[in-house]
Amino acid sequence: MTASRKPVTARVLTLLLGRLPIGWLQLTHNRTRLIAAVGGVAFANILVFMQLGFFGALLETIRMPYRLLDADIFLTAADANTLTDGSYLPRQRLYEALARPDIEGGHAWYVGKLDWDLAPGQSISLQVFGFDPATRPFRSQELNDQLTALSVPDTALLDMATRTLDKSRFANASLKAPVSLELAGRQLDLIGGFRIGGGFEADGYLIVSDQTFMRLFPARSPGAPNHILLRKAGGTQADQVATDLREVLPAEDTRVETLASAIAKDQSYQTTKRPVGVVFGFGVIIGMLVGIIIVYQVLSTDVADHLKEYATFKAMGYPRRFFLGIVFEEAVLLALLGFVPGLLIATGFYAVVSKATGLPLEMNMMRAGAVLIGTIAACALSGALATRRLNAADPADLF
Amino acid sequence: MNAQSCPDVLTVMGLNHWFGEGEAQKQVLHGINLTLKPGELVILMGASGSGKTTLLTLAGCLRSVQSGSIRLLGRELAGANEATLVTSRRQLGFIFQAHNLHESLTALENVRMGLEVHGRPAMTDWENKARAMLGELGLGERLNYLPSRLSGGQKQRVAIARALVANPPLIFADEPTAALDKDSGLAVVQLFLQRARSTGTTILMVTHDNRILDLADRIIVMEDGRLKSDTTRHAA
């Protein structure tokens, strides 16, 4: 046993702590128990990471279509909560807004949903966006240029990140070499592509001109768009412009948001009022609870395993803070040792789930940092709770 | 620390103790009165269940006093707060029936724990102190062994080294040889007593080994939670 020690680590910790690194020595003394404890913490980490990953993917898919837009103010029907629900809004509101000096430009945005039947039994659901091709609604100039080309009737741009799409058929579509596809009984020429990727509502997106949109959705009228996007004049604040607009536009049919607040409200609605969001939010809470319980089990088992030794130290005159020190030392070491494999495995799982579903599951520093801090806190708290018995009892009762 | 300045190392008065609660409550100590003088080696005898270990753990601050009074090195233990108990525990060495060594610390590190509890001043030159202590107990060759690689007698000797290394004025030993065979047990106890007496330490030891009785200054016999006899053999 002496030979298998890592004297360097122990010596460094002795210097750091100013005492024998009993926590470290205890952890490394029994390899099997260490592997089980680290495995438990890693498992708890993976659990929480996966739940946060799903929840984060939901938030991200809600945000992605908004992110394409070059707009400051977002007008929407008073009863609409997301991009796709609610009633329509009078296009008149666009002209009312454009009449104001603090609004520089704006355009209507039409949203609909279609099923694209590729083959019998194989269909892809597409979110269809209609814009006036003369406007330049997107941040990406390349995408704006492509939109201009959509003034040719019955042409479309397809989301190349659409779930289950066979990209090889469409990847090279251009104005010169259009690829035709049949949608809602109409023949469309695909003349280009962009990338958003599917979310929980649809597998992908299609962008068309407002005229083509009306052909695809004969029930819709150009006078009643889903949303109106506005650009504020230079030197104005989006929040102030929105506040002023709210006073002018009738609240019974129009809701005024900045783009940022529109995204935040959409995310908050979908995560708290829609089943998918509630399920994932609940998953995060359950994941954390189960994670904390696992970590508590690991730490309290460890304290119980060493209770006799701690009782001896207590009998020798070591104070309460000495045991807390050992337990915190173990908690931090276990949290770190469990976090590393937990992070690596969860990142791998993200890639697998992302590939299988097309959902944007990505590890980021914020999430990794939050989980690490949470793990250390949960470990330390569990350890502190687990030493309560040691604190309360007379040493003689613990041998 | 100086034995001369506090004439009574331990004074027990009217000590009662009960185990259990309610109907099942059983009194295990009845009105114990006992005084230990500095430098005495007192041996406590009695049948198992007579209350020896209970008395020892009460005086050793390992159990809370329920009724009566224990003054240990000038401090009252009845109703004492945690800080007083912690301070008192540091001033005595306690040797248990089992060795109670920390299994992931080496012999040297276990002895170090007996010094570390006293803070920075005691830690000066700790390694030489611990080495010397283990050397005196014949473990100079086993300094870096973990307890799992030591024999029962060796482990108990490490535990004794841990209790003695900080030179406590008072040592309680609860059948330190209970887990050992007769001969190695005797050897361990003789070594322990020899080392402790050379520094004038007061010792209260529970034992069943009649061969050790000759070394005692006083022999106290307990029966059913009461002191049955208290015999002084020769002057301390």
Summarised one tens digit per residue, pLDDT across range A152-176 is 999 999 999 898 888 888 888 888 8
β-pair partners for A183? A186
What DSSP state is assigned to residue B7?
Answer: S
Q: Are B128 and B206 in contact (CB under 8 A)?
A: no
pLDDT surpassing 90 at residue A98 = yes
Q: According to the model, what pLDDT value does residue A20 have?
A: 86
- Token pair recorded at residue B23: 């109907």
Rounded CA gap, B63 and B8, in Å?
21
A305 in B contact zone (CB under 8 Å): no
Instruction: Report pLDDT digits (tens) over A31-49.
Output: 998 999 999 999 999 999 9
Q: How far apart are CA B44 and CA A332, in angstroms?
A: 46
CA–CA gap between residue B21 and residue A349 (Å, rounded):
55
Q: Hunting for tokens 């898919």 — which residue is that?
A: A61
CA distance A397 to A5: 33
> Long-range contacts of range A362-365, CB-CB < 8 Å, 24 or more positions apart?
A362/A53, A362/A56, A362/A60, A363/A49, A363/A53
Q: Provide the shortest C-alpha distance from residue A318 to chain B (in Å).
A: 6
Please report the pLDDT score of residue A5 as a whole number: 47
> b or e along B197-227 (b: 16 or more beta carbons within 10 Å of the residue's beta carbon)?
eeeebbbbbbbebeebeebbbbbbbbeebeb
Distance, CA of A133 to CA of A149 (rounded, Å)? 7
> Would you say A303 and A387 are in contact if contact means Cβ atoms under 8 Å apart?
yes
Which H/E stretch holds residue A115?
A: strand A103-119
Helix (H, G, I), strand (E, B) or coil at A206: strand
Q: Residue B106, exposed/middle/buried by CB under 10 A (0-12, 13-18, 19+)?
A: buried
Residue B150 Rama label (left phi>0; alpha psi -120 to 50; beta): beta
What confidence tens digit (pLDDT) does each residue in A51-72 have? Answer: 999 999 999 999 999 999 999 9
Q: Where residue A397 falls among pLDDT bands split at 50, 70, 90?
A: confident
Structure tokens given for B163: 């209790």
Q: What does the alpha-carbon distance between residue B144 and residue A223 come to, in Å, rounded to a whole number?
A: 88
Tokens found for residue A328? 């915190």
User: Which stretch of A126-140, A167-181, A224-238, B138-152 has the lowest confidence by average pLDDT?
Assistant: A167-181
Nearest residue on chain A to B90, alpha-carbon basis: A317
Mean pLDDT within B160-177: 91
> Are the Cβ atoms of A317 and B105 closer than 8 angstroms?
no
* Residue B234: per-residue pLDDT: 65
Which residues on A lie below 8 Å from B117 (Cβ)?
313, 316-318
Domain boundaries, chain A: 7-61+276-397, 79-252
What pLDDT does B1 receive? 44
* Host H or E run for residue B126: helix B126-136
Mean pLDDT of A191-201: 88
**What would the mean pLDDT of B10-35 be, rounded to a whole number?**
92
pLDDT at residue B94, as a whole number: 92
Q: What pLDDT band is residue B109 in, cutting at 50, 70 and 90?
A: very high
Q: Which of B86, B101, B162 sits opposite A317 (nearest CB)?
A: B86
A84 Ramachandran zone, left/alpha/beta (phi>0; psi -120 to 50): alpha
pLDDT above 80 (res B172): yes
Domains and CATH numbers, chain B: 39-64+84-232 (3.40.50.300)
Q: What's residue B3's pLDDT? A: 42
**Interface contact flag, B102 A315, Cβ < 8 Å:** no
Residue A1 has its nearest CB partner, among B63, B102, B146, at B146
DSSP string, B167-235: --SEEEEE-TTTTS-HHHHHHHHHHHHHHHHHTT-EEEEE---GGGGGG-SEEEEEETTEEEEEEE-S-
Say if residue B30's pLDDT is above 90: yes
Give the pLDDT score at A102: 92
Strand partners, A186: A183
Q: What percent of chain A has pLDDT over 70?
A: 98
For residues B173-199, average pLDDT: 82
- In which order are the strands placed within the sheet that holds A122-131? A179-183, A186-194, A155-159, A204-209, A122-131, A103-119, A227-232, A73-77, A254-258
Nearest to A203 by CA among A276, A82, A81, A116: A116
Decide if B85 contacts B61 (C-beta within 8 A).
yes
pLDDT for B235 beyond 60: no
Place of tokens 């649809």: A202
d(CA B211, CA B206): 13
Contact B145 A2 (CB under 8 A): yes
**DSSP secondary structure of A32-88:** HHHHHHHHHHHHHHHHHHHHHHHHHHHHHHHHHHHHTB--SEEEEETT--SSS-S--
pLDDT above 80: residue A4: no
Q: What is the mean pLDDT of residues A385-390?
A: 86
Q: Is residue A203 predicted with pLDDT exceeding 60?
A: yes
- Cβ–Cβ below 8 Å for A317 and B114: no
Residues A67, A71, A73, A77, CA torsion sign: negative
Question: Which of these ranges, A293-297, A324-328, A394-398, B203-207, has the smallest mean pLDDT?
Answer: A394-398
Give the mean model confidence (pLDDT) for residues A270-298. 91
Question: How many angstroms separate the CA of residue A2 from the nearest CA in chain B?
Answer: 7
pLDDT of residue B153: 87
Q: In chain A, what residues touch B160 (CB-CB under 8 Å)?
A: none
A248-281 residue pLDDT tens: 999 899 999 999 999 999 999 999 999 989 999 9
Looking at the DSSP bridge assignments, the partners of residue A52 are: none
Our CA-based measurement puts residue B234 at a distance from the nearest CA of chain A, in whole angstroms, of: 32
Residues 241-270 of A with CB under 8 A from B: none
pLDDT, mean over chain A? 90
The confidence score (pLDDT) of residue B177 equals 79
Taking the Cβ of residue A321 and every Cβ of chain B, the question of whether any pair is shorter than 8 Å is answered with: no
Alpha helix locations (H) across chain A? 7-17, 22-29, 31-67, 92-98, 141-149, 210-216, 238-248, 259-272, 275-305, 307-316, 320-357, 365-386, 388-392
* Record: contact A317-B94, CB cut-off 8 A: no
Burial (CB count <10 Å: 0-12, 13-18, 19+), residue B234: exposed
Give me chain B's average pLDDT, please: 88
Q: What is the pLDDT of residue A366?
A: 94
B224–chain A nearest CA distance, Å = 20
Residue of B102, B158, B164, B172 to mutate, interface with A, max A Cβ within 10 Å: B102
- Among A63, A59, A227, CA closest to A129: A227
pLDDT score, position B7? 61
